[in-house]
Amino acid sequence: MLNGNMNKWIFYILLTLFLIIAPLIITGRYPQHIMVMCGIWVIASLALNLILGYTGQLNLAHGTFFGIGAYATALLVQKAGFSFWAALPLGCGITAVFGFLTGLPTLRTKGHYFPIATMCLGIAIYYVIARWEDLTGGARGLFGLPRPDPIPLPFGVVISFESTVACYYLVLFFVFVTILILSRLVKSLAGVRLLAVRGNEDLAQSLGINTMQAKVLSFTLSTLFAGLAGGLFGAYMGTLMAEQAHYLLSFELLINVMIGGVGTLAGPIIGGILLPILGEILQPLAGFRLILYGLVLILVIQFLPLGIAGGWRAAGMYWSQRRGRK
Partner 1 sequence: MSEILLKVEGVTKDFGGLRAIQDLEFQIPKGKIFSIIGPNGSGKTTMFNLITGFLPVTEGEILFKGEKITGLKPYEISRKGIGRTFQLTTLFGNHTVLQNLIISQQATREAGLVSSMFGLNSARQAEKKALKRAHELAEFIGLGQQKMALAGALPQGAQKQLSIGLALAANPELMLLDEPAGGVNLEEVGVLIDLITRIRDSGVTICLIEHKMSMVMNISDRILALNYGKKVTEGNPTEVGRNEQVIKSYLGDKYAAARRSG
The verdict on 181 binding partner 1 (CB under 8 A) reads yes
Our CB check for partner 1 shows the closer of 80 and 181 to be 181
In the complex, least distance from residue 193 CB atom to partner 1, rounded to whole angstroms: 5
Our CB check for partner 1 shows the closer of 195 and 278 to be 195
Our CB check for partner 1 shows the closer of 19 and 185 to be 185
Residue 158 gets which letter from DSSP? E
Within 13 Å, how many C-alpha atoms sit on residue 74's CB side? 30
Helices (H), the chain: 2-25, 29-52, 62-78, 84-106, 113-131, 133-136, 164-187, 189-199, 201-206, 211-237, 247-260, 267-281, 288-303, 307-325
In the complex, least distance from residue 308 CB atom to partner 1, rounded to whole angstroms: 19
- Do 245 and 63 touch, CB atoms closer than 8 A? yes
Our CB check for partner 1 shows the closer of 183 and 239 to be 183
Burial of 265 (0-12, 13-18, 19+ CB in 10 A): middle
CA 260, CA 275: separation in Å to the nearest integer? Answer: 9
In the region spanning residues 184 to 213, those forming contacts with partner 1, defined by CB under 8 A, are: 184-185, 188-193, 195-196, 199-200, 202-211
Our CB check for partner 1 shows the closer of 193 and 246 to be 193
Draw the binding track, 217-236, toward partner 1 (x: CB under 8 A; -: no contact): x---x---------------
Count of residues that interact with partner 1, criterion CB under 8 A: 25
- Span near partner 1 by CB under 8 A; candidates 40-48, 61-69, 120-128, 178-186: 178-186
In the complex, least distance from residue 198 CB atom to partner 1, rounded to whole angstroms: 9
Which positions ≥6 away from 315 have C-beta within 8 Å? Answer: none
Nearest to 245 by CA among 77, 136, 125: 125
Q: Can you give the binding site for partner 1, defined by CB under 8 A?
A: 181, 184-185, 188-193, 195-196, 199-200, 202-211, 217, 221
